[in-house]
């Protein structure tokens, strides 16, 4: 998302409840900011006259013009809740109406200064950030007020940081700024003030690049209309704990849950990489990059292409790797071949780990791989082995098949590849897959078993000394014949046919 050109719009989302004393002034201040803006105001069933003012604002063109004329390109959209539900519910409704490229939350009181918008959006505009928090505790001027309230804020921020592994100074701040495409992926469940820890937990799980910017703050006391209280603090604590366990990306997605667990299996991932590393060149394409569990290993290459079909996984890849200038990320349906941007003969290595089994027309895909490779380039495949192992896990992961050794060799040779390496991998995993998939009929790999398996990897490496005729996976290395030959693996690498 490139916003550097200047033709972008800021959506300002303002939840309102009983703010008759301040609504006119905050709206004036927001409209005065010299940015192209869409202002979405959601009235949460106010009873103090705020609603009546907003009804008039939505219908009286002259009144609306008093605000929209304060700077160029102000568009005001007013929404009315049918019943009082809370700040989170109002923001959820506002997000549905937001049409801008960047979105900011704005309270309807006068505690926060809209003149801070320009510095809040800067880290997003220059490509450093996906989300920006405006910190009240890192900036000046700020009003000295409500010591115990600030203590509570700092405690909740520390608790949230402990579970999200962020180092924010102000999690409870109103000023949260988002790339719009990021915010639309976050399903807000909280109705009240506990939206703050919820959205922070979800931003962390999305692996967003989060920045903090100091903002000025003029806090209110309770006599002046402050609404948040100790009950909201207790609710916030519960929300932090709840969303530290619950992962919104994994709801109903057994494959994502397994990928998430495998991400923590560093010994296993290192082991897999060690078996394919001797064949990796300098122009690398990873097909089916998933959530990036292995993509990080390829960053030393001169050029890296990451291709993924799932939009959620693609966003995770962009959050993690878009900052690297030599990495290009594509969302593409592999049933339609490879992206047009990947030209024939443009890469020297294609890495396809646990992906080919997801593609119905795998023979055609092998042909696309051959076309994209340079002469002498390598295709590295890791596929599930043994059709007799096909069970509930394969169905859950949407596998079309598992591969037999002879059948995989035949498909590669028919596609025009010269097969150089083909061997079974992960003998112990064969047992675990059989028990989980054929006997227990699970739909995801248990986290405890994966952690245990990860700890056993130093022992599992002994299989490299033996060449057993079975394993949970097959690893194949095949080359496109040509004048350029890739460097063979060093003696003792264990990659034997």
The pair phi, psi for residue 487, each rounded to 5°, is -70, 125
Answer with the residue of higher pLDDT: 364 or 265: 364
What is the rounded CA–CA span in Å between residue 245 and residue 201?
10
Q: Is the pLDDT at 491 greater than 70, yes or no?
A: no
Overall fold of domain 10-246: Spore Coat Polysaccharide Biosynthesis Protein SpsA; Chain A (3.90.550)
Helix or strand or coil: residue 470? coil
What is the rounded CA–CA span in Å between residue 400 and residue 328?
28
pLDDT of residue 136: 87
CB distance 482 to 374 below 8 Å: yes
What is the rounded CA–CA span in Å between residue 304 and residue 297?
11
- Give the CA angle between residues 339, 340, 346 to the nearest 5°: 90
- Strand boundaries in 146-294, DSSP class E: 176-179, 210-214, 283-287
- What band does 488 get if pLDDT is binned at 50, 70 and 90? very low
The pair phi, psi for residue 112, each rounded to 5°, is -115, 145
Q: Is the pLDDT at 396 greater than 80, yes or no?
A: yes
Q: How far is CA 239 from the centre of its chain?
A: 20
pLDDT of residue 392: 94
Q: Residue ranges per domain, the chain?
A: 10-246, 254-480
- State the Rg of the chain over Cα: 27
Give the tens place of pLDDT for each residue, 176-193: 999 998 898 888 898 887
pLDDT of residue 312: 83
- Match 């992906």 to its residue by tokens: 355
Task: Give 340-391 as a DSSP string.
Answer: TTS-TT-EEEEEEES-GGG-S-HHHHHHHHHHHEEEEEEEEEEEEB-GGG--
Which residues have CB under 8 Å from 2's CB, separation 6+? 127
DSSP 74: E
The average pLDDT across 189-215 equals: 90
The average pLDDT across 198-211 equals: 90
- What band does 149 get if pLDDT is binned at 50, 70 and 90? low
The Cα-based distances of 463 to 190, 265, 389, 423, 489 in angstroms read 50, 19, 20, 11, 18
The Cα-based distances of 177 to 30, 93, 203 in angstroms read 15, 17, 11
- Measuring CA to CA, which residue among 90, 91, 175 is closest to residue 131? 175
The pair phi, psi for residue 18, each rounded to 5°, is 50, 60
User: Token pair for residue 457?
Assistant: 């990897």
Task: Give the CA diameter of the chain.
Answer: 84
Answer with the residue of higher pLDDT: 221 or 398: 398
What is the rounded CA–CA span in Å between residue 32 and residue 45?
27
pLDDT of residue 467: 76
User: Token pair for residue 418?
Assistant: 């010269």
Best-predicted range by mean pLDDT (94-103, 132-141, 201-210): 94-103
What is the rounded CA–CA span in Å between residue 243 and residue 247?
7
Which residues have CB under 8 Å from 460's CB, separation 6+? 271, 426, 427, 428, 453
pLDDT of residue 138: 76
- Strand boundaries in 106-263, DSSP class E: 131-135, 176-179, 210-214
Helix or strand or coil: residue 132? strand
Question: 324: how many CB neighbours lie within 10 A of its CB?
Answer: 11
26-40, 198-212, 227-241, 323-337: least confident range: 227-241
pLDDT of residue 335: 86
CB distance 338 to 306 below 8 Å: no
Where does 254-480 sit in CATH, by number?
Answer: 3.40.50.150
- What band does 89 get if pLDDT is binned at 50, 70 and 90? very high
What is the rounded CA–CA span in Å between residue 220 and residue 177?
22
What is the rounded CA–CA span in Å between residue 92 and residue 97?
9
Domains 10-246 and 254-480 fall in the same CATH topology: no
What is the rounded CA–CA span in Å between residue 478 and residue 497?
11
CB distance 3 to 85 below 8 Å: no
Judging by DSSP bridges, how do beta strands 37-43 and 74-80 pair with one another? Answer: parallel
Average pLDDT of the chain, as a whole number? 87
HEC-encoded secondary structure of 266-322: HHHHHHHHHHHHHHCCCEEEEECCCCCCCHHHHCCCCEEEEEECCHHHHHHHHHHHC
CB distance 236 to 229 below 8 Å: no
Give the tens place of pLDDT for each residue, 447-460: 777 788 788 888 77
What is the rounded CA–CA span in Å between residue 79 and residue 370?
55
User: Token pair for residue 412?
Assistant: 């590669």
Q: Is the pLDDT at 266 greater than 70, yes or no?
A: yes
CB distance 351 to 279 below 8 Å: no
pLDDT of residue 246: 67
pLDDT of residue 487: 44
- What band does 173 get if pLDDT is binned at 50, 70 and 90? very high
Which pTM was predicted? 0.71
């Amino acid at each position: 998302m490139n916003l550097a050109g200047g033709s972008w719009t800021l959506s300002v989302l303002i939840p309102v409840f009983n703010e008759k004393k301040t609504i006119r002034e905050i709206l004036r201040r927001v409209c005065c900011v010299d940015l192209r803006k869409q202002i979405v105001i959601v009235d949460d069933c106010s009873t103090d006259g705020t609603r009546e003012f907003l009804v008039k604002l939505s219908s009286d063109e002259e009144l609306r013009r008093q605000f929209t004329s304060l700077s160029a390109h102000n568009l005001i959209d007013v929404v009315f809740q049918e019943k009082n539900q809370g700040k989170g519910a109002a923001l959820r409704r506002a997000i549905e109406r937001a049409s801008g490229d960047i979105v900011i939350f704005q309270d309807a009181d006068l505690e926060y200064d809209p003149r801070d918008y320009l510095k809040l959006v800067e880290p997003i505009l220059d490509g450093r950030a996906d989300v920006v928090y405006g910190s009240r505790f890192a900036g000046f001027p700020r009003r000295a007020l409500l010591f115990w309230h600030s203590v509570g804020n700092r405690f909740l921020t520390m608790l949230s940081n402990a579970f999200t592994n962020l180092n924010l100074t102000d999690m409870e701040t109103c000023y949260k700024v988002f790339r719009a495409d990021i915010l639309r992926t976050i399903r807000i469940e909280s109705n009240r003030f506990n939206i703050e820890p919820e959205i922070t937990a979800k931003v962390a799980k999305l692996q967003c690049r989060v920045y903090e910017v100091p903002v000025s703050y003029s806090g209110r006391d309770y006599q002046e209309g402050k609404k948040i209280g100790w009950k909201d603090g207790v609710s916030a604590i519960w929300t932090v704990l709840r969303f530290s366990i619950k992962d919104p990306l994994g709801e109903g997605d057994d494959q994502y849950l397994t990928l998430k667990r495998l991400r923590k299996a560093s010994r296993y991932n290192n082991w897999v990489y060690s078996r394919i590393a001797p064949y990796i060149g300098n122009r690398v394409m990873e097909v089916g990059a998933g959530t990036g569990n292995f993509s990080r290993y390829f960053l030393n290459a001169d050029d890296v292409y990451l291709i993924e079909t799932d939009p959620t996984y693609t966003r995770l890849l962009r959050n993690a790797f878009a900052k690297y200038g030599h990495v290009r990320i594509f969302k593409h349906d592999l049933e339609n071949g490879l992206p047009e941007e990947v030209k024939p003969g443009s890469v020297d290595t294609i890495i396809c780990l646990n992906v080919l089994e997801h593609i119905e027309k795998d023979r055609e895909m092998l042909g696309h791989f051959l076309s994209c490779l340079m002469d002498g380039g390598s295709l590295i495949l890791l596929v599930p082995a043994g059709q007799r192992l096909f069970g509930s896990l394969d169905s859950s992961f949407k596998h079309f098949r598992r591969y037999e050794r002879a059948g995989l060799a035949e498909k590669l040779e028919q596609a025009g590849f010269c097969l150089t390496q083909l061997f079974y991998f992960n003998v112990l995993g064969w047992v675990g897959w059989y028990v989980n998939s054929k006997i227990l009929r699970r739909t995801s790999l248990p986290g405890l078993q994966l952690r245990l398996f990860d700890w056993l990897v130093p022992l599992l490496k002994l299989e490299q000394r033996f060449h057993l005729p079975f394993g949970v996976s097959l690893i194949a290395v095949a080359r496109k014949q040509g004048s350029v030959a890739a460097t063979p693996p060093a003696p003792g690498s264990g990659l034997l046919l």
